[in-house]
Amino acid sequence: MISGMRLVLLGAPGAGKGTQAKILVEKYGVPQISTGDLLRAAVAAGTALGKEAKSYMDKGELVPDSVVLGMVEERLKQDDCKKGYILDGFPRNTKQAEALDKMLSSLNMSLTAALSVDVPFEDLMKRLTGRRTCKACGQMYNVYFNPPKKEGICDKCGGELFQRDDDKEETIKKRLEVYNAQTAPLIDYYGKKGILKSVSGTGSIDDIFKKVCNALGLK
C-alpha cells in the first residue's frame, strides 16, 4: 500500500541504495529525505536549527543527534510527507533509531519498513575501488564493470584517468568497517521490530528494483 510508505533505507556505501531511492521517488511520488541535504538547506536558510548546526560544523564537530532529529521532525511535518517518505542516511546507529521511533510516535507515525540493500563485501570493494575518473572531462569508469577501451585513457576525450583518494582501497575499507560497526546493529534492531525487509543488491538496477517492490509489497 503506497499511502503509508514510511521507509528507512539501509545499505553500505556502494550498495546502490541511493539509486533505488531515486526510482521509488520517481515512481511513487514520495520525498527522499537525506539528512545531509536537510543540514545544508537549514544552514543556507539560516533557520534556528541551521544556525545551531553551523556552530558545530564550523568547529569541525559532528552535529548532535538532537539537532538532526529536530530537522527531520520539521521536514516530516510538511505536506508532501503525508503519503510517505524515504529516510536516507538516518538513523546511522541504534541510539538514533530509538530517538527516531520516539519522535515518530509523538507525531502519531511509525515506520512501515526498514529496507536493507545487501551486497557482498568483495563486490562493494570492486564497485568502489574500481572507480576511475577522467581528469579532463569528468567521465566515470569502473575497471571491473565498465572499463575504458584503453587502460588509463578516457574513451570520450582521450584524457588521463585517475583514482580519487576517496576511492583508494584503505579509505574504502575504513568506510565499510565504520558502516559495519555502526549500522549493522540497525539490521538487528529493525529485525526484532519485525519491519526489516532485505533484498540482494546484485544484478541489474531494474532487477533490484523488482526485488525492492516485491519486498515492500508495492504494485
Which residues are designated catalytic?
A: 17, 92, 131, 164, 175
Interacting residues of 101 by C-beta distance below 8 A, sequence separation 6+: 110, 111
How far CA 108 is from CA of 34, 88, 101, 111, 173, in Å, comes to 21, 21, 10, 11, 40
Q: Is the peptide bond before 120 cis (omega within 30 degrees of 0)?
A: no
3-state secondary structure at position 195: coil
Q: Which residue do the cell numbers 510538511 mark?
A: 78
CA distance 210 to 219: 10
Pairing of strands 131-134, 161-162: antiparallel
CA distance 32 to 75: 11
How far CA 30 is from CA of 88, 113, 194, 197, 212, in Å, comes to 13, 14, 23, 19, 15
Inter-residue contact 73 to 65 (CB < 8 Å): no
